[in-house]
Chain A
Amino acid sequence: MGLFGRRRKAANKDKEEAPFPSGSSGQSGPSGQQGYQWHKSLQDNLQAIQDAFGSPETIKLQHLEVSGRDAAVVFASGLADLEKIAVEIMQPLSTWSRTHREARPELHDWPQGVLAAAQTSTVRDLSDAALELFNGSALLLLDGEDRVLAVAVDGYAKRSPEPPRVDPVIRGAQESMTETLLDNLAMVRRTVPDRRLRTITRRVGTRTRTRVEVVYLQDVADPDLVTEVVHRIDAIECGGILESRYVEERIQDHPWSPFPTMLDTERVDAVAQALLQGQVVIMVDRTPQALILPVTFFEFFRSVSDYSTPVYFATFARWLRFISFFLSFTLPSLYVALVGYHPEVIPTKLALSILGTRQGIPFPAVFEVLILDLMMEVLREATVRMPRNVGQTIGVVGGIVLGTAVVQAGIVSNTMLIIVSLSAVASFAAANFTFAQAIRILKYVLLVPTVMLGLVGYVLGLTVILLHLCSLDSFGVPYMSPLAPYRAGDIKDTFTRVPHFLMTRRPQTYHPSDMKRSAKRQKQT
C-alpha cells in the first residue's frame, strides 16, 4: 500500500472514531448519545448534555424561570464571559419575564426582540452544542421547546493584535493577525472595506471542527480557482486541524516538494494586497498566519515593505534577496567544488590565500562544511527553543566562541567559517521563513552531487533543482511564472518594483477576472 493509501486509511479511522462528525447532521454524538435529537422536556435535554459532556467542572448550568416556564443557560467555564451572560441573557430575559407575565414565551422570538446579544444561532444536535459551547457560546434551553439557542457570549483569553514579528516594516501598518479568526477577518475587512469581499466558511476536522475561511474578492479572483480551493478543503478527511499547516499540506499540489506553494503571512496588509491582485486567502481559526494562493517562486522575494519604500531601494532590496537566495544554498557547494576539484579556476593570489588558511586542516573541504553547518544548525535550533531573553545571548556568544574555537583548534579554516556564516546569514534574507527553511535543506542536497562530481555535479545538481522548480504548480499556476511561461506584463513587479501609478493592471499570472486595478471602482462610484 502506498503512503497516500495509508494516509487515507488513517483518515478514515479518525472519521470512524470521531464523536463529532464534520457534517454535523446529528448522525453521531457524544458516546452513548449517538443520534440524540432535542426533546420537549428540559430535564431530558439537560440530562443528555450532562451525559454527553460528563464533566460538571467544565460545563456550568444556570436555572431560571421565564414567564412561568423553566429555562436553563448552559455554558463552558472559562470560555464564556459571565458578565456577558448576565447582561445579554439573564437581565433581558428577567425584564421580559416581568413585563410579559401572561405571555407564553417562544424561543424563536427571543433573538429578535428579547436578547441583547448580537449573534445567535440554532443548535441542531449535541455535536453542534459541543462546538458552540467550546467556542464560548451559551446554550439557552426552554421547557417545552425541542430546539436550543446558542448565544455568542465568548470570554476566552485572546491576544490583541501586535506588531508583526516575522516580517516587520518601518513604514506601514504595524498590526499582525492573532489566533482569533473573527478578529483577523475583521482586520482584513477594515483594510479592504469592499462589499464584494466574500468568505466561504468550512469546518474541518472531525474532532476539532476548526473553522476555515476562504476569503476572496468576488469580481477579481478567478472563480475556477475559488471553486478548486473549496473543493480541496471539502476533500480533507482528518481528525483535527490545529494549525494552517495541517490544511496546507492536504491541499497543495506538491506536498513532497521542499518549496512552499502557498505563502504564509501574519501581516494583514499582505493579505489585503493578495486579495486586491486576485489571489485567494485561506484563514484558519487559532492560527495567526493566513495562507495566500496561488503563488509563484518570485512571490517569496517580494516583501510588503517593498511597496512602502522608494522604487529604487525596493528593486535593490529585491535583487539583494535573489542574490542571497543563490548564495545561501550554492556557496558551500561551490567552495567545495572549487577548492576540492578545480583550484585552477581560482585566481592565483586568492588560491594561495585559501590554501594558506587550509594548511594544517585535517579534513577535506566537504567535512569542514558539514562540521560548521551542523554547528550552525544546532545553535539555530537551540536558540529557537531557549527562553527568548537567554536565547539571543547564547546564540551570539555561542556562535562567536565556538566559531573562534574551531578555527583556533585547526578543525576548520577561516575561509570556511566565512563561507558558512555568509551562507547562513543569506538564508534569512528571504522574505518568507518557510522558504528560508527550504533553502536550508537544498544546501545539503546540492552538496551530494558536488562531492561526487565536483563542478559537473554542482551544475547537475543545480539543473535538477531548476527542473524541479519548473515542474511545480500552485493551484494550476506555473511556479516559475512570469519567467516560464513568460508573462511580459508581470515582469515589472518581479525583478523590479515600478511606481504604484504604473501598476495599473493585475498580474496576469493569477488569471484575475478583472485585469484593471481601478476599473470597478469607477463603476462603483
Chain B
Amino acid sequence: MKPVKAGNKLISSNEMMPLVYCATVAYGIIVGPKMLVEFGREASPLLSALGLGLAVGVIILSVKMAQRFPHLTAFQWIIRLLGPLGYVPAVTLLLYLLALQSVHAYNFAVLLQMLFLDRTPLPVIIVGGMAAAFYGVHLGIEALSRFFRIIVYLEYLVLVPLLLLGPSSFTWTHFMPFYPLDTRTWLLGPLVALGSYLGYAHAPLGLLPYVRDHERALRPSLVGLALAGLIITGATTVTLGVFGPETVRLTAYPTFEYSQVLRMPQPLMFLSRYSLFFGIVWVVAIMKLAMLDMFISAIGVQQIVGVRNFKVALAGVTLVVAVGAMLIPNPRVGEQLVVNVALLGVALSLGLLPLLGLLVVLLRRRADKVAQST
C-alpha cells in the first residue's frame, strides 16, 4: 500500500524570505565586494548602502508586478502579454538562465578545483555539484524554502562572527577620503551595487505562483533583501578595511582572501585556516543559487516546451547545464556566452519583436479587409 501523502507543494509568504535572501547572498557575496570596491573605491560601503535602497525599490516593483499575475510565472505572463510572439522572449529568458547556470557551474568547478581539489578533473566536480543540486530541486519548492531558511541561520552564524573579527585588522585610512568620487561614480555606483543585490530579481517573479498567500509576499521579500544587504555591505566594508582599494582590485575573490588572512584569537586556534568555514559557506551559496535557477528553468521548460513531468524537465535542465558547463573552455568564454544571450534577448525584444508585431498587425488588417470584401 502506498502511504497517503500529507501536505501540499505551496509555500507560505513567510517562506519567500529565505528564497530572496539566498538568491542574493550567493554570487553577491563572492563578486559583490570586488565589483563595488573597484568602482567606488573608498566610498564602496556607502555605494553598497545606496544600492540596497535601489534594490528595495526594484523588489517592490517586481513583487507588485508579479502580484498582478499571481498564478503565472514570468514565462507565462510574457506569453500572456505578447501573445504567441511572447514565446520569443520567454525562450530567450530560458536560454539566458541556462547559459547563466552553465557559467555558474563552470565557475563553481574551477574555483573549487583551484582552492580545494587540485587533482580532481573539472567534469567530476561539475557532475557532483549538479547531482546534489538536482536532488535538492526534485524535492520541490517546499523543501527548498525550508532548506534555505536553515542556511540563512547557518550563514549568519558563520559569516557574522567572521566579519566582526575584521575591524581588528582594519587600516582605517582605507576608508578615507571618499569624497573625491566624480558624479559618474555617484550615479552609476548604486547601480553597480544594485547588480550585486539583484542579479537574481527573477526570484519573486518566478516563484510567486508557488506562494499560498501571495498578497503578503512583499514584506518577507524585503526582510530577505535586508538580511542579504547587511551581509554584502558588511563584506564590502571589511574587505575594504583590511585590504584597501588597490589590493582588492588585484585579488580575484576578496571575501575569500579575507577569510584566508584572518587571524583568530588564540583560544580559537584549533584550525590553522578559517577560510575553511568560508569555503563551506561559499560552496553552499553557489549550490543554493544553482537550485533556485534550476527550479525556475525546469518550470520554464515545462511551460514553454510542454513537458508535463517536472522531474523530466529538471533532468533535461540538469543535463543541458552540466554539458554546457563542461563545454566552456575558459571563464572569459562563459561570461561572453551570457552577454551574447542577454544581447540576443535585448535585440529580439527591441528589434525583431516590434517588427514581427508590425507584420502581424499588417497581415491581420489585410485579412480583415479580404474578409469584409467577401
Check A46 for interface membership: any CB of B closer than 8 A: no
- Which 10 pairs show the lowest CB-CB distances between chains A and B? A476-B6, A471-B143, A484-B146, A470-B146, A484-B149, A471-B139, A470-B147, A467-B136, A4-B2, A347-B272
Task: Report how far A341 CA is from B125 CA in the complex, Å.
Answer: 15
Are the C-beta atoms of A453 and B147 separated by less than 8 Å? no
Inside 8 A of B117's CB, which chain A residues have their CB? Answer: 341, 453-454, 456
Of A98-106, A248-256, A302-310, A516-524, the segment with at least 4 beta carbons within 8 Å of chain B is: A248-256
Of A56-64, A266-274, A458-466, the segment with at least 4 beta carbons within 8 Å of chain B is: A458-466
Task: Report how far A236 CA is from B120 CA in the complex, Å.
Answer: 50
Task: Report how far A346 CA is from B269 CA in the complex, Å.
Answer: 10
Given A347-B271, A348-B272, A484-B150 in contact, is the A7-B1 Cβ separation under 8 Å? yes
Q: Which of B132, B276, B287 contacts A345 (CB 8 A)?
A: B276
Are the C-beta atoms of A483 and B153 separated by less than 8 Å? yes
Are the C-beta atoms of B7 and A476 separated by less than 8 Å? yes
Task: Report how far A403 CA is from B153 CA in the complex, Å.
Answer: 40
Q: Identify the interface centre among A8, A345, A449, A454: most chain B CB within 10 Å of its CB.
A: A345
Inside 8 A of B7's CB, which chain A residues have their CB? Answer: 473, 476, 478
Inside 8 A of A468's CB, which chain B residues have their CB? Answer: 139
Are the C-beta atoms of A253 and B271 separated by less than 8 Å? no
Interface SS of chain A: helix
Q: Identify the interface centre among A11, A483, A486: most chain B CB within 10 Å of its CB.
A: A486
Q: Which of B2, B272, B280 contacts A346 (CB 8 A)?
A: B272
Are the C-beta atoms of A486 and B136 separated by less than 8 Å? no
Of A111-119, A227-235, A355-363, the segment with at least 4 beta carbons within 8 Å of chain B is: A227-235
Inside 8 A of A467's CB, which chain B residues have their CB? Answer: 135-136, 139, 143-144, 147
Check A344 for interface membership: any CB of B closer than 8 A: yes
Q: Return the CB mask of A407-425 against B: 1 if under 8 Å, else 0.
A: 0000000000000000000
Are the C-beta atoms of B3 and A255 separated by less than 8 Å? yes
Check B279 for interface membership: any CB of A closer than 8 A: yes
Check B283 for interface membership: any CB of A closer than 8 A: yes
Inside 8 A of B284's CB, which chain A residues have their CB? Answer: 459, 463
Additional A-B contact list (20), CB under 8 Å, known A456-B128, A456-B283: A11-B1, A235-B4, A251-B3, A346-B272, A347-B272, A348-B272, A452-B128, A454-B116, A463-B283, A467-B144, A470-B139, A470-B143, A470-B146, A470-B147, A478-B7, A478-B146, A480-B150, A484-B146, A485-B14, A485-B149
Q: Return the CB mask of B119-154 against A: 1 if under 8 Å, else 0.
A: 010001100110010011001101111110110010
Are the C-beta atoms of A344 and B12 separated by less than 8 Å? no
Check B270 for interface membership: any CB of A closer than 8 A: yes
**Can you list 15 A-B pairs with a CB-CB distance of less than 8 A?**
A235-B4, A236-B1, A250-B1, A255-B3, A342-B116, A345-B271, A345-B272, A346-B271, A456-B128, A460-B128, A463-B287, A467-B144, A467-B147, A485-B14, A485-B149
Binding site for B on A (CB under 8 A): 4, 7-8, 11, 228, 231-232, 235-237, 250-255, 341-342, 344-348, 449, 452-457, 459-460, 463-464, 466-468, 470-471, 473, 475-476, 478, 480, 483-486
Given A228-B6, A463-B284 in contact, is the A345-B273 Cβ separation under 8 Å? yes
Are the C-beta atoms of A480 and B128 separated by less than 8 Å? no
Check B15 for interface membership: any CB of A closer than 8 A: yes
Are the C-beta atoms of B1 and A485 separated by less than 8 Å? no
Q: Return the CB mask of B92-119 against A: 1 if under 8 Å, else 0.
A: 0000000000000000000010001100
Nearest-CB distance from A275 to chain B (Å)?
A: 21
Inside 8 A of B140's CB, which chain A residues have their CB? Answer: 471
Task: Report how far A232 CA is from B1 CA in the complex, Å.
Answer: 10
Nearest-CB distance from A330 to chain B (Å)?
A: 12
Task: Report how far A341 CA is from B120 CA in the complex, Å.
Answer: 11
Check B184 for interface membership: any CB of A closer than 8 A: no
Inside 8 A of A8's CB, which chain B residues have their CB? Answer: 1-2
Are the C-beta atoms of B287 and A460 separated by less than 8 Å? yes
Inside 8 A of B5's CB, which chain A residues have their CB? Answer: 253
- Nearest chain-A residue to B139 (Cβ)? A471
Task: Report how far A466 CA is from B147 CA in the complex, Å.
Answer: 7
Given A11-B1, A253-B5, A466-B147 in contact, is the A456-B112 Cβ separation under 8 Å? yes
Inside 8 A of B153's CB, which chain A residues have their CB? Answer: 483
Task: Report how far A356 CA is from B316 CA in the complex, Å.
Answer: 49
Given A456-B117, A456-B128, A459-B284 in contact, is the A347-B4 Cβ separation under 8 Å? no
Inside 8 A of A470's CB, which chain B residues have their CB? Answer: 139, 143-144, 146-147, 150
Are the C-beta atoms of B116 and A456 separated by less than 8 Å? yes
Total chain B interface residues with beta-carbon distance under 8 A: 44
Inside 8 A of A463's CB, which chain B residues have their CB? Answer: 132, 136, 283-284, 287
Task: Report how far A48 CA is from B144 CA in the complex, Å.
Answer: 62
Task: Report how far A449 CA is from B128 CA in the complex, Å.
Answer: 8
- Nearest chain-A residue to B276 (Cβ)? A345
Given A459-B284, A463-B284 in contact, is the A253-B6 Cβ separation under 8 Å? yes
Task: Report how far A471 CA is from B142 CA in the complex, Å.
Answer: 7
Inside 8 A of A254's CB, which chain B residues have their CB? Answer: 3
Task: Report how far A485 CA is from B141 CA in the complex, Å.
Answer: 13
Interface SS of chain B: helix
Inside 8 A of A341's CB, which chain B residues have their CB? Answer: 116-117
Q: Identify the interface centre among B7, B116, B269, B284: most chain A CB within 10 Å of its CB.
A: B116
Given A485-B12, A485-B149 in contact, is the A344-B3 Cβ separation under 8 Å? no
Nearest-CB distance from B310 to chain A (Å)?
A: 14
Q: Identify the interface centre among B139, B146, B279: most chain A CB within 10 Å of its CB.
A: B146
- Nearest chain-B residue to A486 (Cβ)? B149
Inside 8 A of A456's CB, which chain B residues have their CB? Answer: 112, 116-117, 125, 128, 283
Inside 8 A of A449's CB, which chain B residues have their CB? Answer: 128
Inside 8 A of B120's CB, which chain A residues have their CB? Answer: 453-454
- Nearest chain-A residue to B149 (Cβ)? A484
Nearest-CB distance from B213 to chain A (Å)?
A: 13
Nearest-CB distance from A337 to chain B (Å)?
A: 10
Are the C-beta atoms of B150 and A466 separated by less than 8 Å? yes
Inside 8 A of B145's CB, which chain A residues have their CB? Answer: 484
Q: Identify the interface centre among A11, A348, A456, A471: most chain B CB within 10 Å of its CB.
A: A456
Are the C-beta atoms of A452 and B124 separated by less than 8 Å? yes
Given A456-B128, A485-B149 in contact, is the A231-B283 Cβ separation under 8 Å? no
Are the C-beta atoms of B1 and A459 separated by less than 8 Å? no
Inside 8 A of A480's CB, which chain B residues have their CB? Answer: 146, 150
Given A455-B279, A467-B139, A480-B150 in contact, is the A460-B4 Cβ separation under 8 Å? no
Nearest-CB distance from B300 to chain A (Å)?
A: 22
Nearest-CB distance from B286 to chain A (Å)?
A: 11
Inside 8 A of A344's CB, which chain B residues have their CB? Answer: 272-273
Nearest-CB distance from B77 to chain A (Å)?
A: 28
Nearest-CB distance from B297 to chain A (Å)?
A: 18
Inside 8 A of B124's CB, which chain A residues have their CB? Answer: 452-453
- Nearest chain-A residue to B112 (Cβ)? A456
Task: Report how far A484 CA is from B144 CA in the complex, Å.
Answer: 10
Inside 8 A of B280's CB, which chain A residues have their CB? Answer: 455, 459
- Nearest chain-B residue to A251 (Cβ)? B3
- Nearest chain-B residue to A458 (Cβ)? B280
Nearest-CB distance from A37 to chain B (Å)?
A: 31
Q: Return the CB mask of B278-297 against A: 1 if under 8 Å, else 0.
A: 01100110010000000000
Given A346-B271, A470-B147 in contact, is the A235-B283 Cβ separation under 8 Å? no
Task: Report how far A138 CA is from B177 CA in the complex, Å.
Answer: 98
Nearest-CB distance from A393 to chain B (Å)?
A: 38
Task: Report how far A468 CA is from B143 CA in the complex, Å.
Answer: 8
- Nearest chain-B residue to A231 (Cβ)? B4
Are the C-beta atoms of B14 and A347 separated by less than 8 Å? no
Are the C-beta atoms of A453 and B6 separated by less than 8 Å? no
Are the C-beta atoms of A473 and B139 separated by less than 8 Å? no
Are the C-beta atoms of A484 and B4 separated by less than 8 Å? no
Task: Report how far A347 CA is from B268 CA in the complex, Å.
Answer: 11
Nearest-CB distance from B149 to chain A (Å)?
A: 4
Task: Report how far A231 CA is from B12 CA in the complex, Å.
Answer: 27
Are the C-beta atoms of B14 and A486 separated by less than 8 Å? yes
Inside 8 A of A237's CB, which chain B residues have their CB? Answer: 1
Nearest-CB distance from A228 to chain B (Å)?
A: 7
Are the C-beta atoms of A473 and B6 separated by less than 8 Å? yes
- Nearest chain-A residue to B12 (Cβ)? A485
